[in-house]
Chain A
């Protein structure tokens, strides 16, 4: 069983388009995240949601809008895509508030903006 899944795995699109990436976790966790890994392999958090409520927003441009319809899903919508948005986007989940806070990551979505 896949714990954290993302769709699509690959996404190629033109500058200026709007696209969405979906994430689902079946672990019963209440906290979900989006991370971005750029071409230099730096992995950086973008957002965190706890029980559908935004708790972390790391100064991400407002072209990026996360949406959490329920605590098992955290989707990422990106408006007016730019070349610099090309990266691998990872979704993750954890049970918030615990010391261990082990985060489970999805397989990633490789976004290429042409």
Chain B
């Protein structure tokens, strides 16, 4: 079972920052937080991951609270192409733990 809780849906205006929350209150010390998204029935796409420090890449930023019980994915300037279902996943990294356990995710709709 997924160990994360996300709001089922969110809207965001085009050009604004989209902030997607995720609760993972039972996360263990060796579990990473991963974010994937799925655009309209395509295969899921990796976005970003982190352990305890904030992370940023060309797609997004990941903010993890100090107690690691929650995190926020930030899409800094949302475009219409960012409309998708976003999945927050926690798992232990390393060989034999590669499976991704997807929850229900957040359906993000970018509004023109």
Q: Measuring CB to CB, which residues of chain A are less than 8 angstroms from any residue of chain B?
A: 4, 31, 33, 35, 41-45, 48, 50, 55-56, 58, 88, 90, 92, 94, 96-108
Q: In the assembled complex, which residues on chain B have CB atoms less than 8 Å from the CB atom of A105?
A: 42-45
Q: Can you list 20 residue pairs at the A/B interface with Cβ under 8 Å?
A: A42-B102, A42-B104, A43-B87, A43-B102, A45-B99, A48-B98, A50-B95, A90-B43, A92-B44, A99-B32, A99-B93, A100-B49, A102-B46, A103-B46, A103-B98, A105-B42, A105-B43, A105-B44, A108-B42, A108-B43
CB nearest neighbor in B for A50: B95
Which residues between 12 and 62 of chain B lie within 8 Å of chain A, taking CB atoms? 32, 36, 38, 41-46, 49
What is the bound-complex CA distance between A108 and B96, given in angstroms? 24
Task: Give the A-B pair count, Cβ closer than 8 A.
Answer: 62
By size class, the interface of chain B is 20 to 34
CB nearest neighbor in B for A43: B102
Q: In the assembled complex, which residues on chain A have CB atoms less than 8 Å from the CB atom of B45?
A: 105
* Candidates A90, A97, A106; contact of B95 at CB < 8 Å: A97
- Contact B94–A92 (Cβ < 8 Å): no
Q: What 0/1 pattern do residues 73 to 111 of B give for CB contact below 8 A with A?
A: 000000000000101000001111011111010000000
- Chain A CB within 10 Å — which of B38, B43, B99 has the most? B43
- Contact A33–B98 (Cβ < 8 Å): yes
Q: In the assembled complex, which residues on chain B have CB atoms less than 8 Å from the CB atom of A92?
A: 43-44
Q: In the assembled complex, which residues on chain A have CB atoms less than 8 Å from the CB atom of B104?
A: 41-42
- Contact B98–A94 (Cβ < 8 Å): yes
What is the bound-complex CA distance between A33 and B99, given in angstroms? 8
- B74 CB to closest chain A CB (Å) equals 19
Q: In the assembled complex, which residues on chain B have CB atoms less than 8 Å from the CB atom of A56?
A: 98-99
